[in-house]
Structure 1
């Protein structure tokens, strides 16, 4: 379902939130670090550079992404695995667990938070960010196209990707015994190129939609969506303005 080349088309915009998240992770010398939803592994390598003494594992459910990650140079302390992000179990409790723009693909975040906490060692840090723009024009227009009679039946099983509020994440993790720092950031991206917002969505949001539709109907869906996005996000000489809100959580388990 995933296309590493399409996903990395907006590499700088996608990795910026990771560094904002990582800047709030206070961990001096962790031994075991994991990156859930590692994609092509670029940011997993950043974790190994920050903590060179740690064993770092990147986990992704996409075979294509993990194969691409394994092709790229990495330290001997880094490895990549294909695995379900909810059910994956580390070989030993983790000192740092990071997930950048991946957990929104998983359902039932109330249960998920408990599963993630169970992977942590005492005094470990859980840090994740998820998109929080599901009511933005881009996603509303995708939903409008999904509801069209031509596509609705095939796309009924493809769920939207809701996330919890900051207050809910704080409550879930505090109840599990963690201290929580949570915040939101809205980025204004100026995306280059023609149909820039469509190209952004083709790297993420539209992947399961197109996989469910197949080639011919997928192309028809894209052509249905294209003019809607052009109207909502007009291109300018300096780029297409695209507001994107992300939700961040950094939580530390008690010792």
Structure 2
């Protein structure tokens, strides 16, 4: 179900909203196995994807299964403060796009999560 929903979402983004968009940095929150991260990278024009999850074993699995130069898998928790997340994922500048598939509902403090996403997102116009 997750994959099916994610693929529908990616298709909608590509067809309706960002079909010609070029993303410098994309964040995938709660990336799990990294399969959807890889799919996103293969279907969108992005320089780098930083995918993160709080589960260290999933990140290790993702790194082994998805060896793509422009995708980095990092251990980080969206429940932390945005400055800590920024350090944990080695984010040098804000992301052009942030997405999460079936992750946010697990967080207890959703208000903090939304604040963190806002703080990590590029406020400039998309080209």
Q: Which structure shows the bigger proportion of residues in strand conformation? A: 1
Measure, in 1, the Cα distance between the counterparts of 2:8 and 2:34.
18
* Counterpart for residue 2 of structure 2: 14
Measure, in 1, the Cα distance between the counterparts of 2:105 and 2:70.
28
Measure, in 2, the Cα distance between the counterparts of 1:103 and 1:43.
16
- Secondary structure of 2:12's partner? coil
Measure, in 2, the Cα distance between the counterparts of 1:66 and 1:73.
10
Q: Which runs of 5+ in 2 are unaligned?
A: none
Query: Taking structure 1 as the reference length, what is the TM-score of the superposition?
Result: 0.41
Q: How much does 1:64 deviate?
A: 1.0
Q: Which runs of 5+ in 1 are unaligned?
A: 1-12, 126-255
Measure, in 2, the Cα distance between the counterparts of 1:19 and 1:30.
18
* Counterpart for residue 70 of structure 2: 77
Q: Deviations over 1:83-102 (max 9, x none)?
A: 11233223310001010001
* Counterpart for residue 96 of structure 2: 95
Q: Deviations over 1:139-172 (max 9, x none)?
A: xxxxxxxxxxxxxxxxxxxxxxxxxxxxxxxxxx
Does the 8 A contact of 1:96 with 1:124 survive in 2?
no
Measure, in 2, the Cα distance between the counterparts of 1:107 and 1:124.
31
Does the 8 A contact of 2:78 with 2:116 survive in 1?
no
What are the within-5 Å matches in structure 2 for residues 204-223 of structure 1? none
- Which of 23, 35, 50 is 2:28 aligned to? 35
